[in-house]
Amino acid sequence: MFGMKRREFVRLLGGAAAWPLTARAQQREKRATIGLLGSGTDAAQRNWTAAFVERLRELGWIEGRNLAIEYRWAEGRSERFAKLADELVRLNVDMIVTHNTPPTLAAKQATSAIPIVFATAGDPIGTGIVASLARPGGNITGLSSQSPDAAGKRLDFLREVVPGLRRVAMLTDVGNPFTKREIGEVQQAAGTLGLELVTIEIRRADDLDSALDATKLRTQAVYVPAVPLFFANRDRINSLALRARLPTMHLVREYVEAGGLMSYGPNWPDMWRRAADLVDKILRGAKTADIPVEQPTKFDLVFNLMTAKALGLTIPDKLLALADEVIE
C-alpha cells in the first residue's frame, strides 16, 4: 500500500516538475501580430488575404495560436491610408503588410522601425518605396507587380479583339503616385502599336459617370489601371462602360469577374502567397533591408465571354487558347 502511494507521489512530483518547463516553453512561443492594411474591403480582397493566410499556415503561423492579424480596410478611399497606418503603429504590431502604392507609402511614412512587406506595388523604386530592388534598405521589402512589356501586351490583346481599334482611353487616378509612370508606359506602348491614347483624370468616384460617356470620349476601348479607387468601383466602371458599349482592359481578373471584358497581368493571389514567404523570413529573424524585392512570375489572361457577347465582340480562338481563365 505504502509502495503504491510512493509511486503516485513520485509521478505527481514529476508532473509538477515538468509543468513549469511546459509553461516556460509556451511563453517562449511568442505570438506574432501582423497589421494588414488593405486598400479595399474585406469581402473584395478575400481571395488575396485567404491565399496569404493559407500560406502562413503552411509555414507554421496559425491565427489564434501563434499569430494574430489586425485588419484595417480603406475601402478605396486613399485619404484613409495615413490614419490606418498610424493606428497599426500605435498597436505596436510586429509587421505591416500592404499592397498597391498609396497604402505602402502611408505605412512607410508612419514608421521606420516596424518591418513592412508589400504584396504588390507598381514601381517601388520610382515612387520612392525602396532604394533598389536588390537591396531595398530600411524597413521595407516586398513584390513589384511591374512588368516592362505588360502594357504593350494588353493593348495588343485589345487590338486583336476590337476590330479597327485606333483610339483608347485610359482612366488615371491623379491621387496615385504611380499614375505618371503608368501613363508613360501605356503611352509608349500605344505609340509602338500605332494607337492614340487619351488620358481621363479621375479624382473621386463621382467623376466616373462623366468620364465614361462614350459621346465625349469618342474612343473605342478603355484601359483601367489596378488602383484602389478603381478597384473599389470596378462594378460601377464596368457597368458604365458596358452601357457606353466600350470594351475594357484590366490588369487583374477581379475586374473581369465584375463584368470587365478582359485582363492581363500578375496573379495577385500568387503574389500574396509569396508575400507570406517574406513575412515568414522576417518573423524568423531575417533583416528586411537585406531581402530583395521580388518580381511577378505568374501572369493571367482572362476573358469574360458574356461581356464580349453583350458588346457584339468575338474573342479569337487563338486568344481563347492562350487564356488562363474564361468566364462564361
Q: Which has the closest alpha carbon to 244: 224, 205, 206, 218?
A: 218
Strands of 32-38's sheet, edge to edge? 67-73, 32-38, 95-98, 116-118, 140-142
The continuous run of DSSP H or E covering 38 comes out as: strand 32-38
Domains and CATH numbers, the chain: 31-146+267-298 (3.40.50.2300), 150-266+300-327 (3.40.50.2300)
Percent of the chain residues topping a pLDDT of 90: 69
pLDDT at position 9 = 45
Is the entire prediction scored with pTM above 0.75?
yes
**Residue 50: other Cβ atoms inside 10 A:** 12
Q: What are 78-117's pLDDT values in tens digits?
A: 889 999 999 999 999 999 999 988 899 999 999 999 999 9
Q: What percent of the chain has pLDDT over 70?
A: 90
Ranges of residues in the chain whose predicted pLDDT is under 70 = 1-29, 148, 214-215
Q: What is the structure's pLDDT at 214? A: 63
| pLDDT at site 137 | 86
86 alpha-carbon distance from chain centroid: 20
pLDDT at residue 2, rounded to an integer: 42
Query: What does residue 104 show for φ and ψ, rounded to 5 degrees?
Result: -65, -45
- Evaluate whether 172 touches 225 at the Cβ level (below 8 Å): yes
Grid cell in block for residue 140: 521595407
Question: 94-109 burial, b if ≥16 CB within 10 A, otherwise e?
Answer: bbbbbbbbbbbbbbbe
